[in-house]
């Protein structure tokens, strides 16, 4: 039988019995992330403090699912809250488990089409700006980016690849 070692506002930690002994699993409500491209193919990123990383990171707009909220509803809400932008259409790119070795978090990734408004940072966001793909590679190289951004870009490229 599983027992909870911790219950918090965002996550809980459950101890599961396995064939190799007890295993701690971080339970997460799930999340969404939205890839926004401008006409030049640059990617919209937000910069925000990430205490677990000990620094500010650049990443695509993202956030957790609220109870009863669909991934598409959450994606629209998070994009609006973090950047002030509205979106006509969200194209599902896929979903990823960013850390399946210890967490059940599933992030639903979307491509935004028909974005309106001017990007502006929300209260928890330091900056909002567009980056070239070369700049994104540099952010990843120096540890200032995140995995969901790279996964969204990879899934977009894979979806456009010839079969």
Tell me how far apart the alpha carbons of residues 33 and 96 are, in angstroms, rounded to a whole number: 11
Separation CA 8–CA 6 (nearest Å): 7
Active site (annotated) includes residue 124: yes
Q: How far apart are CA 116 and CA 141, in angstroms?
A: 31
DSSP string, 131-163: E-HHHHHHHHHTT-S-HHHHHHHHHHHHHHS--
Residue 69 CB-density burial (10 A; 0-12 exposed, 13-18 middle, 19+ buried): middle
Catalytic residue among 49, 124, 138, 157: 124
Q: How far is CA 56 from CA 8, 51, 68, in A?
A: 23, 8, 30
**What is the set of active-site residues?**
124
């Amino acid at each position: 039988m599983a027992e909870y070692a911790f219950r918090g506002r965002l996550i809980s930690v459950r101890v599961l019995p396995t064939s190799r002994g007890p295993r701690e699993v971080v339970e997460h409500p799930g999340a969404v992330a939205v890839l926004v491209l401008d006409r030049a193919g640059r990617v919209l990123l937000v910069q925000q403090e990430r205490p677990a990383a000990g620094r500010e990171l650049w990443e695509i707009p993202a956030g957790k699912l609220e109870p009863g909220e669909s991934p598409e509803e959450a994606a629209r809400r998070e994009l609006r809250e973090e950047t002030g932008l509205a979106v006509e259409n969200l194209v599902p790119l896929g979903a990823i488990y960013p850390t399946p070795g210890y967490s059940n978090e599933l992030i639903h990734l979307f491509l935004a089409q028909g974005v309106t408004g001017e990007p502006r940072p929300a209260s928890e966001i330091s900056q909002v700006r567009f980056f070239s793909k070369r700049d994104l590679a540099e952010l990843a190289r120096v540890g200032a980016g995140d995995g969901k951004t790279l996964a969204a870009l990879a899934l977009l490229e894979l979806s456009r690849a010839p079969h």
